[in-house]
Amino acid sequence: MSYPIAKLALEDGTVYTGAAFGAAGETFGEVVFNTSMTGYQEVLTDPSYKGQIVAMTYPLIGNYGISPEDQESRRVQVEGFIVRELTRKPSNYRSSISLDEFLKENNVIGIEGIDTRALVRKLRVRGVMTGVLSTTDLDDTSLVHKARTCPGIVGRDLVREVIPEKAFVWTAGMNSNLTTHIALRPPEKHVVAIDYGMKWNILRCLVQVGCKVTVLPGTATAAEVLACNPDGVFLSNGPGDPEPLDYAQKTIRELVGKKPIFGICLGHQLLGLALGAQTFKLKFGHRGANQPVLNELTRQVEITTQNHGFAVRT
């Protein structure tokens, strides 16, 4: 069976031609790669990927379909999706629809059949680049021009595009059918989680270890946080550049010394900026479920999940 043509153009002038899946149309974003062998649904629905076109390094994607239980937010967040080979007929008792159908429902464009190894090698050498993914405009010159003129993510506030409109309480723990190593504990501490684009699994984990969780949008003030009278404050992950998020840095500065604060990903970067540190953009970022980190206390290497394109300068 033949499929419609899709093209991916990068700002350096490179154009890749492949087969389209998901929605039809045109999209732009920063082209990045993820090294996870599984977890593509979690990648697609992670708000940290807002503004980005994601390429998976593992060659076969879609084989276990899509399950509602694996969502990390209400919708697909990536701007586009790149795979070497798409499985159009998944096999998994938990699957409700295929990856192709899922992207169609969420109006997200996908491309398969390109040399993802060459693409990832280019991004590692040159660094991440802006790109355009299209099924409608197939003219190379036009696409390259669009890739060179579309906005990147540096200096943009992407958090306001993904945060919840109002505060809410989260009560769900981890799926007991899928998790056996952490028993659900009764709530003992009240945590306010400031949502800059938070994955749902982080909320599930907080509940699982015994936290009552109140979620506030990333635009919340320190007064709104303290009014909840939490035992601690959690600063979540989220998309894009921490530098332009003045409102978040102000809130964190006003909370320092009043409540224990724990930040990850974007939240960690914002905490650094609030305390006077500087952040910088990584060449190609850390994105994957297999990132090794040395635990300085135990001297053991731990395998971590990471997804960030910026870091705190030390």
pLDDT tens for residues 21-32? 999 999 999 999
The residue out of 93, 125, 149 marking a domain boundary is 149
207 contacts 171 by C-beta, under 8 angstroms: yes
Q: Which of 166-175, 243-252, 262-271 has the lowest mean pLDDT?
A: 166-175
CATH code of the domain covering residue 191: 3.40.50.880
Same domain for 179 and 134: no
Residue 52: how many CB atoms within 10 A of its CB? 27
Size of the chain in residues: 314
Same domain, 100 and 203: no
How much is the pTM?
0.94
- Residue ranges with strand state E in the chain: 5-10, 15-22, 26-34, 52-56, 60-61, 80-83, 85-86, 109-112, 129-134, 168-170, 189-195, 211-217, 232-235, 261-263, 279-294, 301-312
Residue 174: its pLDDT value, please?
84
Mean pLDDT of 200-211: 95
Q: Give the model's confidence band at 214: pLDDT under 50 very low, under 70 low, under 90 confident, else very high.
A: very high
Domain range holding 171? Answer: 159-276
Q: Are residue 26 and residue 116 in the same domain, yes or no?
A: yes
Is 270 within a domain? yes
283: number of Cβ within 10 Å = 11
Residue 267 to residue 261: CA distance in whole angstroms: 10
294 lies in some domain: no
Asked if 81 contacts 53 with a C-beta cutoff of 8 angstroms, the reply is yes
Same-domain pairing of 19 and 73: yes
Domain shared by 20 and 48, yes or no: yes
Whose structure tokens read 């300085």? 296
Same-domain pairing of 170 and 268: yes
Per-residue pLDDT reduced to its tens digit, 122-146: 999 999 999 999 999 999 999 999 9
In a domain, 300, yes or no: no
Is residue 140 domain-shared with residue 179, that is, in the same domain?
Answer: no
Residue 262 lies in a domain: yes
Task: Let me know whether 38 and 127 are in one domain.
Answer: yes
Shared domain for 106 and 134, answered yes or no, is yes
Does residue 72 surpass a pLDDT of 70? yes
187 falls within a domain:
yes
How many distinct structural domains can be found in the chain? 2
Whole-number pLDDT of residue 1: 67
Q: Give the domain CATH number at 62.
A: 3.50.30.20
Q: Does pLDDT of 2 surpass 90?
A: no
Does residue 180 carry a pLDDT above 80?
A: no
Would you place residue 104 in the very low, low, confident or very high pLDDT band (cuts 50, 70, 90)? very high
| Residue 295 CA: distances (Å) to CA of 47, 292, 302, 304, 313 | 27, 10, 7, 11, 19
DSSP 7-58: EEEETTS-EEEEEEEE--SEEEEEEEEE--SS-HHHHHT-GGGTTEEEEESS
Shared-domain flag, residues 188 and 104: no
Same-domain status, 113 and 210: no
Q: What is the DSSP letter of 183?
A: P
Residue with tokens 């059949």: 113
Among 95, 24, 22, smallest CA distance to 65 is for 95
User: Which residues pair with residue 32 across a beta bridge?
Assistant: 54
| Residue 183 scores a pLDDT above 90 | no
Q: So what's the pLDDT on residue 178?
A: 66
